[in-house]
Amino acid sequence: MWDSSMTALMVQGTIETLYMTLASTLLAYVIGLPMGILLVTSDSEGIVPMKVLNQVLNIVVNITRSIPFLILLIAVIPLTRLITGTTIGSTATVVPLVIAAAPFIARLVESSIKEVDYGIIEASLSMGSSPMQVVTKVMIPEAKPSLIIGAAIATTTILGYSAMAGIVGGGGLGDIAIRFGYYRYETGMMVITVVLLVLIVQLFQEVGMKIAQKQDRRK
Amino acid sequence: MTSQKPIIEIKDLGKTFRPKSGEVKALDGINLSINQGDIYGIIGMSGAGKSTLVRCINLLEKPTSGSVFIDGQDISKITEKELRTVRYSVGMIFQQFNLLMQRTAEKNILFPLEIAGVDKETAKKRTAELLELVGLPDKAKAYPAQLSGGQKQRIAIARALANNPKILLCDEATSALDPSTTNSILKLLKEINHKLGITIVIITHEMSVVEQICSHVAIIDKSRIAEDGEVEDIFRNPKTEIAKKMIFSEGDQGSVVMGKNTYRIVFDEKSSSDSVIAKMVLETKCLVNILHADMKNIDGFAFGQMVIQLPEDELSAARAVNYLRSHQITVEEVGTHVG
């Protein structure tokens, strides 16, 4: 049953999974990071309280977070086609992944930033920092270890989501698992994809933790 | 050091917090004038509003009424951007130091210079100078977590001084430190005041801090200023209950047993060198019981206070009091509320 074409398939699947995960994480951070920061700064206790913006952000995040990924994946198909010109393959999967992951990341970022001692923010304000300087010079650098751990969690979660995209022909290891393991009852293939997925998750988690630990100057 | 030009003027300042459950008046009708070069203590019990007051001086808290003048400029009426520039010239240090944990000591001092847009070359030189000033040139590369409390506060002081401020605000700056570290930090603050002529405002709940370095003091109680003036005057002749309580209870809480006919007497420079009590006993034949005696050095002047108990016999007690009063010594009866 096993031959070189299988190996090629697995390698291809792994590459696709990594591509989907990393591209989606990156793009989701482009949206989620500023969202998370805005959630903190626009809060009524934040450095630039903006009630309406804060409420809108919270609602958007909560709604998106409450839609199960599998349903979101199908629901956004028209948008996916509009952006990528196709609805199958790993590039197409990036669209729903980003939509699902961005609000999740916003929450992760929000909680990391909130961990920064308000005293430090107050001190920087007392020195004449602008809100932008507080964000770039205090909030993000001070929350760095926590943000990195958050990024590791986000990456592994997105990896899990990407496997689900196999249902609609999303490419990657999840796709292989569904096509061979589920539709064709090839349990061996299923086991291999699962092992590969576990290894990738472990890798991301470990690397994330190591970097976070190295960056943490608080002890 | 003291010249008669107010660098900080607070006029009819009020601050009311409006949490969901009712209103909390933190400050009410505060008027204060702090001259250039002063070391001005603001003392009060916890919850009196002193931390809010100091935050109103650099507008970290926005007052609900009244105005704050820094160097003649009403900072409650300027734009956010102008306010940030004013803040470059008002340094602040905190009880919890509030250093950036992810930056080295050196980078912490560099922080306000980055904020103010000082060029790298100048900033680096300034940082080295400041580390020298606070006595920690060898800790440049250390992270705050590797420093002791006193060292952290020294770095925080260096950071607060980076942009050559005219004013340094200290919010309970020594409250998290042990007594000997407190002394060394106070010494450093005094040195900064003398050397650089920086006006220092010190918020504290410890009378000993005021005694050690302040030239002026305001006692804040229940959101209002109860009493203010030169430290020496307030110590010699506290007028309000709260002032008496704060000055008197310092250091002897619970140790003095108060009885009837208890008096507090205050010596100043002149009378403290005289053996007044001995002479009084000899001349009035009134036997005194010394309950508490204490000598302090306030702003370079010897200052003593003593709590004595006079005999139950009202006549001889009155004789003793009159004797002391005739020798220009402040005498006052102490109620049982003290101690």
Instruction: Report yes or no: B242 and B327 within 8 Å, Cβ to Cβ.
Output: no
pLDDT higher than threshold 80 for residue A163:
yes
Q: CB-based burial of residue B305 (10 Å sphere; 0-12 exposed, 13-18 middle, 19+ buried)?
A: buried
pLDDT at B250: 52
Q: Band of the pLDDT at B332, cuts 50, 70, 90?
A: confident
pLDDT higher than threshold 50 for residue B18:
yes
Residue B132 sits at the chain A interface (C-beta within 8 Å) = no
What average pLDDT does range A129-158 have in this prediction?
97
**Lowest mean pLDDT, pick from A46-55, A100-109, A188-197, B186-195:** A188-197
What region does B172 belong to: left with phi over 0, alpha with psi -120 to 50, or beta?
A: left
**Lowest mean pLDDT, pick from A65-69, B53-57, B322-326:** B322-326
pLDDT at B277: 81
Write the residue in A125, A127, A219 that is nearest to B111 by C-beta. A127
Mean pLDDT over the full length of chain B? 88
pLDDT higher than threshold 60 for residue A74:
yes
What average pLDDT does range B79-87 have in this prediction?
95
pLDDT at B268: 73
Count Cα atoms within 13 angstroms, Cβ side, for A116: 31
Using CA atoms of B196, B200, B205, B207 in order, give the dihedral in degrees to the nearest 10: 60
The per-residue pLDDT for range B220-259, each reduced to its tens digit, is 998 999 999 999 889 888 888 888 888 776 544 444 455 6
Instruction: Report yes or no: A134 and A124 within 8 Å, Cβ to Cβ.
Output: yes
Instruction: Report yes or no: B10 and B49 within 8 Å, Cβ to Cβ.
Output: no
pLDDT at B244: 82
Write the residue in B91, B102, B159 that is nearest to A142 by C-beta. B102
Distance of CA B235 to the CA centre of its chain: 13
Instruction: Report yes or no: A166 and A176 within 8 Å, Cβ to Cβ.
Output: yes
Q: Band of the pLDDT at A63, cuts 50, 70, 90?
A: very high
pLDDT at A61: 96
Using CA atoms of A144, A149, A151, A152 in order, give the dihedral in degrees to the nearest 10: 150
Distance from CA of B161 to the nearest CA of A (A): 10
Which of the pair, B263 or B191, is modelled with greater confidence? B191
Buried/exposed code over B49-80 (b: 16+ C-beta within 10 A; e: otherwise)? bbbbbbbbbbbbbebbebebbbbeeebbeeee
Contact B98 A120 (CB under 8 A): yes
Using CA atoms of B237, B242, B245, B251 in order, give the dihedral in degrees to the nearest 10: -100
Residue A9 CB neighbours (<10 A): 18
Which of the pair, B279 or B31, is modelled with greater confidence? B31
**Lowest mean pLDDT, pick from A154-168, B30-44, B140-154:** A154-168
CATH architecture of the domain covering A19-215: Orthogonal Bundle (1.10)
Size of interface A-B (CB pairs under 8 A): 74
Contact B112 A127 (CB under 8 A): yes
Residue A119 in tokens: 């005293």
φ, ψ (nearest 5 deg) of residue B126: -60, -40
Q: Where are the domains of chain A?
A: 19-215
The per-residue pLDDT for range B271-299, each reduced to its tens digit, is 666 677 888 888 888 888 888 787 776 66
pLDDT at B4: 64
pLDDT at A103: 97
Enumerate the residues of chain B whose CB falls inside 8 A of the CB of residue A125: 60, 87
What average pLDDT does range B156-162 have in this prediction?
97
Residue A91 in tokens: 């590039």
Q: Band of the pLDDT at A1, cuts 50, 70, 90?
A: low
Instruction: Report yes or no: B168 and B134 within 8 Å, Cβ to Cβ.
Output: no
Q: Band of the pLDDT at A34, cuts 50, 70, 90?
A: very high
Q: Please choose, from the candidates B54, B77, B73, B80, the residue with its C-alpha nearest in 3D space to the C-alpha of residue B160.
A: B54
DSSP string, B209-251: HHHHH-SEEEEEETTEEEEEEEHHHHHHS--SHHHHHHHHSTT
The per-residue pLDDT for range B171-202, each reduced to its tens digit, is 999 999 999 999 999 999 999 999 999 999 99
Dist CA B215 CA B287 (whole Å): 37
Write the residue in A119, A215, A217 that is nearest to B98 by C-beta. A119
Instruction: Report yes or no: B218 and B210 within 8 Å, Cβ to Cβ.
Output: no
pLDDT at B249: 65
Selected for mutation to probe chain A from B115, B157, B175 (highest A CB count within 10 Å) is B115
* Closest residue in chain B to residue A120, using alpha carbons only: B98
Which of the pair, B267 or A61, is modelled with greater confidence? A61
Q: CB-based burial of residue A214 (10 Å sphere; 0-12 exposed, 13-18 middle, 19+ buried)?
A: exposed
pLDDT higher than threshold 60 for residue A123:
yes
Instruction: Report yes or no: B153 and B173 within 8 Å, Cβ to Cβ.
Output: yes
What average pLDDT does range B109-122 have in this prediction?
96
Percent of chain A with pLDDT over 90: 81
* Domain annotation for chain B: domains and CATH numbers: 6-238 (3.40.50.300), 251-333 (3.30.70.260)
pLDDT higher than threshold 50 for residue A212:
yes
What SS3 state is found at A44? coil
Q: Band of the pLDDT at B214, cuts 50, 70, 90?
A: very high
pLDDT at B338: 43
Residue B135 in tokens: 């006595």
Total number of residues shown for chain B: 339
Which of the pair, B240 or A41, is modelled with greater confidence? A41
Q: Which CA distances in Å does A3 have to A8, A9, B262?
A: 9, 10, 103
Dist CA A58 CA A78 (whole Å): 25
Contact B112 A144 (CB under 8 A): no
pLDDT higher than threshold 80 for residue A93:
yes
Instruction: Report yes or no: B53 and B226 within 8 Å, Cβ to Cβ.
Output: no
pLDDT at A182: 86
Q: CB-based burial of residue B134 (10 Å sphere; 0-12 exposed, 13-18 middle, 19+ buried)?
A: buried
pLDDT at B323: 86
Instruction: Report yes or no: B27 and B49 within 8 Å, Cβ to Cβ.
Output: yes
Distance from CA of A215 to the nearest CA of B (A): 8
What average pLDDT does range A8-32 have in this prediction?
95
Instruction: Report yes or no: B113 and B127 within 8 Å, Cβ to Cβ.
Output: yes
φ, ψ (nearest 5 deg) of residue B9: -130, 125
Total number of residues shown for chain A: 219
Contact B101 A130 (CB under 8 A): no
Percent of chain B with pLDDT over 70: 91
pLDDT at B154: 97
Dist CA B89 CA B52 (whole Å): 20
